[in-house]
Structures are given as C-alpha cells and as structure tokens.
C-alpha cells in the first residue's frame, strides 16, 4: 500500500513537472506563433515571420534566463528556471520585456499579420504588467503565458482552439502542486492573461 502510494505521488510529481516545463511562456510561444502564421501566410512569409517570432519571443528570452542563471550559479546561488523568489525576477523580466518590444516593432515594420503582431504586443504588455505586479506580489507567469495565447488561438481558429485552452487547468494545478504558487496566484495569472489579451484584441482589431 505504501509503495503504491509512493508510485502515485512520484507519477503526479513527474507529470506536474512535465506540464510546468512545457508551459514555460517563451517555449510555448513558438508553436503558437507558428500555427497562427502557417494559417495566415504563404510558405515563404511563414518561414521569415515565424523565425522572427521564435527569436524574440522564444530564443532570446530563454537564452538570457539560462545565461543569467549560470552567472548566479557561479556566484554561489542556485536558482531553477522557475525563478521562485519574487525579487530575483526583476532583471529577467526587464530583459524579456525588451525582447518582446523589439519583436513587436520588427513584426510591425515587416507588415506581419495583425494578429501576429498583436500577440507579440500582448507578450510585451502582459509581461510589463506582471513586472509591476511582481514588485509587490508574485503572480503566475505560467498561467498567464498559457491563458493569453489561448485567447488569440480562439480568436483565429474559433471553438476548436478551446482544446488548447483545456491545458490551462492542468498548468494551474501543476504550479500549485509543485508549490511554486498559491491557488490565488495562478487564478489571478489566468484571469489577467485572458482579460488583458481580450481587451487588446478588441481595441486593436
């Protein structure tokens, strides 16, 4: 009975880590942008615009965070990719915000599809909001990073995209189960991601 319980808990923990890792905002942005661009663009334009999206929304933020973590490690401070301490998040958030802003400007300059540019803008503005919230309180970037793109996918593809939105509860559960956030923090991240992205789509399209 004890062994069975341990196996169950180990499975839940591994599953929670898998969901949490897969829902890392810069990582999940790449397939979301690729799917939208594939639907809206010719093959040549799809390749160019998607590479730009992947670089500014995915690659640069991830590489910066990894480099920042390695520097912290050399200074004797072990921090994982979740950056659990609120005060440690300030500098990474600033750099990621700058990357999203540059990405938005580049997409706008190249006349990328409006919804693609708006999604990059949402990454910028939503993360900027999180930065100011994070000065005083910790909110779930994972939940927000899934909820926002879910709104855009539903706008582009309709009800079928609710299949993507179905992962939001899993992400919320994983963050709470791994004790990275409280239930209220993931709830507020989800609500903020949905509301902010919806308002921006409504105002800009």
| More confident: 85 or 114 | 114
% of the chain residues with pLDDT over 70? 97
Please give the full DSSP string across 112-142, using - where no structure is assigned: --HHHHHHHHHHHHHHHHHHHHHTTS---HH
Q: Which of 134, 158, 150, 148 is nearest to 100 (CA)?
A: 148
Determine the angle formed by the axes of helices 25-40 and 2-22, rounding to 10 degrees: 50
Mean pLDDT of 193-202: 96
Distance CA 113, CA 185 (A): 33
Please determine, for residue 1, whether its predicted confidence score (pLDDT) is greater than 60: no
pLDDT attached to residue 4: 52
Reported as a single tens digit per residue, the pLDDT across 90-100 is: 999 999 999 99
Please determine, for residue 114, whether its predicted confidence score (pLDDT) is greater than 80: yes
Query: φ and ψ at 75, to 5 degrees?
Result: -90, 10
Distance CA 66, CA 41 (A): 32
Q: For residue 80, what are its two tokens?
A: 């994982």
Query: What is the pTM for the complete model shown?
Result: 0.92
Reported as a single tens digit per residue, the pLDDT across 98-110 is: 999 999 999 999 9
Please determine, for residue 6, whether its predicted confidence score (pLDDT) is greater than 70: no
Please determine, for residue 35, whether its predicted confidence score (pLDDT) is greater than 90: yes
Mean pLDDT of 123-150: 95
């Amino acid at each position: 009975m004890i062994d069975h319980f341990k196996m169950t808990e180990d499975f839940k923990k591994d599953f929670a880590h898998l969901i949490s890792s897969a829902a890392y905002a810069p990582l999940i942005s790449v397939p979301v942008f690729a799917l939208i661009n594939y639907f809206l663009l010719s093959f040549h334009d799809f390749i160019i615009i998607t590479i730009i999206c992947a670089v500014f929304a995915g690659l640069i933020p991830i590489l910066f965070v990894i480099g920042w973590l390695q520097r912290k490690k050399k200074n004797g401070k072990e921090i994982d990719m979740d950056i659990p301490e609120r005060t440690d998040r300030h500098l990474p958030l600033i750099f990621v915000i700058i990357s999203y802003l540059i990405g938005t400007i580049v997409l706008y300059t190249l006349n990328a599809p409006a919804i693609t540019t708006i999604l990059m803008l949402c990454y910028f503005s939503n993360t900027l909001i999180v930065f100011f919230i994070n000065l005083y309180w910790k909110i779930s970037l994972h939940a927000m990073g899934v909820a926002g793109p879910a709104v855009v996918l539903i706008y582009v593809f309709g009800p079928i995209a609710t299949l993507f939105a179905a992962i939001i509860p899993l992400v919320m559960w994983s963050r709470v189960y791994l004790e990275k956030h409280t239930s209220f923090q993931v709830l507020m991240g989800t609500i903020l991601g949905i509301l902010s992205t919806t308002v921006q789509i409504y105002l800009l399209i």
